[in-house]
Amino acid sequence: MESIFTISYTSGTSGNSKGVMLSNSNFLSAITNILHFANVFAFKESDVYISYLPLAHVFDRLGCHTMLKQGGAIGFFGGKILNITEDLQILKPTIFPSVPRLLNKVYERVLAGVNEVRVTKRIAFYQGLISKQHYNEKYGWVQNQVFDSLVFSKVRERLGGRVRIIITASAPIAPNIMSFLRCVFCCPIVEAYG
């Protein structure tokens, strides 16, 4: 159990890249913890997980190993991050792992798209967003049948239309962006940072 499972290299953002030796028990412990919080993560046999982060990314590797443990499906993206929306349309994942850097770009793109639509659609979007953010803060709700089907369905479709949970890790994400994305994607976003 204490034998080395993998050596994962850090990105080197704080200096030279470092090789971190992770044992079998490190990985098994992390997977056990993920499954222990099944009420939050709830990986199921019927789930489809998309893997598109670099192989060296321990966060994604843990997601893949957890899906294997639960008997779910894993789809690997086609290799070009600029074409990931096409991969999402084909795979239609239910679990979408991500990192704040990408989610920040998604946030900016959604806002840019909203600013390009007619005023009436823009008003409906912000009315739905404000309403959903209120109920999300007060009760933890991320879904609203009316707003989700009339306003947010096109945004949700960008991830394949079936994502039921987004998991973010590697760094903290701004609370306002987290709240925004929960509402427009109509699903919980779990921050697994740290």
C-alpha 4/C-alpha 105 separation (Å) is 36
Q: What is the mean pLDDT of residues 26-39?
A: 80
Q: Over 70: is that where the pLDDT of 53 sits?
A: yes
Contacts 24+ apart (CB under 8 A), 107-113: 107/177, 107/180, 107/181, 110/155, 110/180, 110/184
Q: Over 90: is that where the pLDDT of 182 sits?
A: yes
15 against 108, higher pLDDT? 108
Which residue segments constitute the domains of the chain, with CATH numbers given? Answer: 4-191 (3.40.50.980)
User: What is the band of 194 on the pLDDT scale with cuts at 50, 70, 90?
Assistant: low
User: For residue 19, with 0-12 CB atoms within 10 Å meaning exposed, 13-18 middle and 19 or more buried, which class applies?
Assistant: exposed
**Tens digit of each residue's pLDDT (9 = 90 or more) over 76-124:** 999 888 888 899 999 999 999 998 988 999 999 999 999 999 999 999 9
- What pLDDT score was predicted for residue 39? 66
Q: Over 70: is that where the pLDDT of 38 sits?
A: no
Mean pLDDT of the chain: 89
- Model pTM score: 0.87
User: What is the band of 162 on the pLDDT scale with cuts at 50, 70, 90?
Assistant: very high
Q: Fill in the DSSP letter of residue 191.
A: E
Per-residue CA distances from 20 to 6, 10, 121 (Å): 8, 7, 49
Cβ atoms 9, 57 nearer than 8 A: no
Neighbours of 95 (CB within 10 A): 25
Question: Tokens 């920040």 appear where?
Answer: 104
Neighbours of 156 (CB within 10 A): 17
Quote the percentage of the chain above a pLDDT of 70. Answer: 94
